[in-house]
Structure 1
Amino acid sequence: MTRTSQTPTSRKPSADPLMPQPKPILQFNYPLPYGAVVRDGGVQFAIYSKSATSMRVLLYNRVTDSEPSRSIEFDPQTDRWGDIWSIFVPELPIGSLYHFQADGPFAPEQGHRFDGHARLIDPYARALAGKFQPGQDGIVRPPKCVVVDDHFDWQGDRHLKRPLSETIIYEMHVRGFTKSSTSDVDHPGTYLGVIEKIPYLKSLGVTAVELMPVHEFPTEESNGSKSERPNYWGYDPMAFFAPHRGYAYGNKPGAQVRQFKEMVRELHAAGIEVILDVVFNHTSEGNEHGPTFTFKGLENSVYYMLNQDGSYKNYSGCGNTVNSNHPIAREMIFHCLRHWVYNYHIDGFRFDLASILHRNRHGDLVPNPPLVEYIAEDPMLADTKIIAEAWDAAGAYQVGSFANHRWAEWNGAYRDNIRRYWRGDNGMTGAMATRLSGSSDLYQPSGKNPYHSINFVTSHDGYTLNDLVSYERKHNMANGEENRDGDNNNYSSNYGIEGPTRRVAIQELRVRQVKNMLATLLLSQGTPMIVSGDEVLRTQRGNNNAYCQDNATSWFDWRLVSRNTEMLRFVEALTAFRVHQPTLRREAFLTGTAERPNDLPDVSWYGTDGEVIDWQSAYHSMTCLLGTSWLRDRNARCVMILMHAGGSPQNFMAPPAAEKFKWRLFIDTAKPSPKDIYPGATGPVLINGEPIELDHHSLRCYVAV
């Protein structure tokens, strides 16, 4: 690890020599041991291959060149050290373009797929340029690697290190966030476009953006042809160390590196952390019928899990599976994570299909896999958030049991239970209470805390929140798979009409249900995640698997910000309340006990009559009373949440324990704006002893003052 000293322009040295001088702010870079390493006088190329018989680096003059201008052969006697091929090329400038090329055995049954004609992407490439080029000779010509210098003026930027318990995550797609012409930005669909929308993110009140994949992925077919189903989401990696070139403004090779860093720096300046969705479970090379353009042509059996006949194990559902617990692949992933943390100042990672990381080199699930444990214990990642999608495409499901206490998890049970409760399914009050209070059933047995539960009702994968209350069937015909793709179990409802309607009663109920679920999400113990656009009722017209929809179906329609200002106001008030209310952000599980005899317990549950709830009741209603016991924050206030998922109005009585407090209304989802939410909980005072009537499918929240 190297260290350089920088003094930001905003911190000028004092002119008085007797006055204390400002300390220089140290910036840390993490030098990668492999790839194209810039050195004084040239570039050192280093690459791993145990089984290659010869190695070359191909240099190009232009991105559009199909043939190299220069081929440099590694001398096996002087340029190979163990299984590392390394050669220094003098006078090679930053920005140079290159591929590797390796000879070796083609013996799939033995795990080898060398192709001496293939142009290979450097696994450690810092940036790519161009596209796949079609070739009549059958040679796959992938995007070219770019020689990159990691120097950047961070202006003193550091990781924000916000506790997970104080985090509100906003899942978003870099391109889709500003690509629409309605975004009114100068650089639509790019990292710079995100910068232009930081004021919106800040006003929304989120504290972290979770970016859908930004490491390199193909934007077209690997044979250079245009795909009928473009790769929009990006869950198809081909260069883990490189930010996606398609999100850069302009075509200059390597521009994405600087622009990505600028985006992170400006988000940090606004108090917003950056979490990356990383895909270490498979690559875009596919199975035995797929192309060879990187790992396959270097050491196939090391980087991929193989069957005995040389075919590919497929726990990802995408054709191959990265052999992540092989020492070489594991080392690459470590270097990659450190690279993003120290060279890009990334604050955390969400690991796609993370249960694959729990599989050993044979594909078997094991309790303490080296990779998962090392990520948790790596001292260089100690300040980062690590989040698992704790399942895979081969049946592994580890929600609540994924690794140790460093790992947070997407809580799929939370998503399903909240949807089913508000839809009015029977027998869901107990599940709703458990999810609202932090999912102790899942996380407490494994020694975790409420904030390890990443609570979400929607994600990129599935319906938007607006569509969840507008469609009962998926509408994925535009994906070209005859509506076979996408999940069939969505726990959704259209409330009488499939899709858009002019019937006012249905429209109002749908908006109310969206508010119910957003309120539940932001009032729950745990770490909430909102999907970009849900705050303004974005729709995908019933498509619940828009992975290939690089168009208005997926893009953020910024006209909705003005059309649905009432919903946006509702969410902004919720996030602001959560940020300032420690009662909703406990770091330990609720106990149902009070610190002192006359205090409210940290949580207690009641039925509509104000008495202790009967969990066997057929009602769809309950009251949650959150006390401030065990909290030391003066801002903590008692909170009372009344929930009614039934189809008719329901009277509630406040619990006797609540009558010694003065309560003001914060939320009433049944009321039209502005009476649906009172920022700062300044609504009407609750009159003790009088019935509280909740309309059908509604939620109220009161705050003690």
Structure 2
Amino acid sequence: MPNIYSTEKFEKEFTYSGSDLGATYTPENYNVPEGSYSTDPYNGAVRVAEMKQMVKTLHDNQISVIMDVVYNHVYNASDFCVNQIVPGYFSRVDADGKYSNGSDCGNDTASERSMVRKYIVDSVKYWADEYHIDGFRFDLVGLIDTETINEVVTEVHKTHPDVIFYGEGWTMDTAVTKDGYKMTTQPNSTDVPGFAFFSDTLRDALKGHVFYTTRKGYVSGAADLADTVKGCFLGQADDWCTTPSQSINYASCHDNMTLLDRITKSTPGASKEDHIRMNNLSAAIYMTAQGIPFLQAG
């Protein structure tokens, strides 16, 4: 587990962000295009046609499409269709009979169960086959077991060898229903060789701890983080990344402060010109480091 600052890092990360995740991600019908962008959301054929037209238009303009998938929890576990058919099967339940809540969204998906795994694999294959999606970004993939992720990658690559897979490999507490399963977390990266992870190691080293917002990062003056940055630059983030192909290098994403906001907060006395230099230095590092560069709103 990355330990730039402390082992409390992941606990804090999801204590703070859970309410936002619960309000934002409300997965219910996994294989249906979102209706709010459709010209006629009450007509399923229109939803499907417009989604396919959108992807084709992007492809025609040499733009690939990566979809954010949220299989780690559902909007309402009790009302979810599979749990209505077989009560409690789709979701993890702890020893007290309560839904496991490692996602901080009210429930965790029991991916280790055979038919739940099949559902996830079939769903990802469907999006790749029917909509020609070029990549999948898994939300809180640390709640999905490694066997499921490996099967997803293997099955999709049989017909779509260039599709990419990556996600949030944070370590979280979840009540797995079967023994012998590992979750798809950064420390287990070698168990999922075809899957990449966001490198919060590099993120926090560059701009400072994501939640201790007055702490400086390497680009804003924390010289003691130079070795961490060097390791990430070589594609060896802490003790979890053994190959550059599994490291998604970034400084900003949709969560928390942007890079410029973060360095401004930690260096209030610096000039605008210096803030720009810090921003440029950060970009130079994560865009040229061994691994996969990721740009916010890129």
TM-score by length of 1: 0.34
Of 262, 287, 290, the residue aligned with 1:525 is 290
**2:97 aligned partner:** 310
Distance 1:310 1:231, change over 3 A: closer
Amino acid corresponding to residue 514 of structure 1 in structure 2: N
CA drift at 1:494: 4.0
CA drift at 1:391: 1.5
User: Is residue 354–residue 392 contact of structure 1 (8 Å, CA) maintained in 2?
Assistant: no
User: Is residue 470–residue 494 contact of structure 1 (8 Å, CA) maintained in 2?
Assistant: yes
C-alpha distance in 2 between matches for 1:282 and 1:513: 38
**2:274 aligned partner:** 509
Distance 1:232 1:282, change over 3 A: closer
1:375 aligns with 2:172: no
User: Is residue 355–residue 390 contact of structure 1 (8 Å, CA) maintained in 2?
Assistant: yes
**2:236 aligned partner:** 439
**1:469 aligned partner:** 263
User: Is residue 38–residue 47 contact of structure 2 (8 Å, CA) maintained in 1?
Assistant: yes
**1:351 aligned partner:** 138
Distance 1:451 1:352, change over 3 A: same
Task: Note the aligned Cα RMSD (angstroms).
Answer: 2.6
Amino acid corresponding to residue 277 of structure 1 in structure 2: D
Distance 1:381 1:303, change over 3 A: farther
User: Is residue 388–residue 410 contact of structure 1 (8 Å, CA) maintained in 2?
Assistant: yes
Distance 1:269 1:230, change over 3 A: same
Q: Which has the higher contact order (CA 8 A, sep 6+)?
A: 2
**2:222 aligned partner:** 425
**2:11 aligned partner:** none
1:243 aligns with 2:33: yes
Distance 1:304 1:233, change over 3 A: closer
Distance 1:467 1:389, change over 3 A: same
CA drift at 1:444: 6.2
Amino acid corresponding to residue 295 of structure 2 in structure 1: I
Q: 3-state SS of the aligned residue for 1:458?
A: coil
User: Is residue 317–residue 394 contact of structure 1 (8 Å, CA) maintained in 2?
Assistant: no
C-alpha distance in 2 between matches for 1:440 and 1:513: 21
Amino acid corresponding to residue 457 of structure 1 in structure 2: A
Q: 3-state SS of the aligned residue for 1:243?
A: coil
C-alpha distance in 2 between matches for 1:311 and 1:440: 36
CA drift at 1:272: 1.6
1:150-229 to 2 correspondence within 5 Å? none
C-alpha distance in 2 between matches for 1:394 and 1:230: 18
Distance 1:401 1:343, change over 3 A: same
C-alpha distance in 1 between matches for 2:264 and 2:79: 44
**2:5 aligned partner:** none
**2:188 aligned partner:** 401
CA drift at 1:400: 5.1
Distance 1:392 1:380, change over 3 A: farther
Percent identity between matched residues is 27
User: Is residue 235–residue 291 contact of structure 2 (8 Å, CA) maintained in 1?
Assistant: yes
| Structure with the higher fraction of residues in strand conformation | 1
| Structure with the higher fraction of residues in helix conformation | 2
User: Is residue 236–residue 244 contact of structure 2 (8 Å, CA) maintained in 1?
Assistant: yes
1:450 aligns with 2:244: yes
CA drift at 1:426: 3.7
C-alpha distance in 1 between matches for 2:171 and 2:26: 15
CA drift at 1:271: 1.6
- Give the count of matched residue pairs: 259
**1:292 aligned partner:** 79
TM-score by length of 2: 0.78
Provide structure 2 residue ranges, at least 5 long, that are not aligned to the other structure: 1-18, 175-182, 208-216
1:260 aligns with 2:32: no
Provide structure 1 residue ranges, at least 5 long, that are not aligned to the other structure: 1-228, 359-368, 472-492, 497-504, 536-705
C-alpha distance in 1 between matches for 2:237 and 2:84: 47
Q: 3-state SS of the aligned residue for 2:68?
A: strand
**2:211 aligned partner:** none
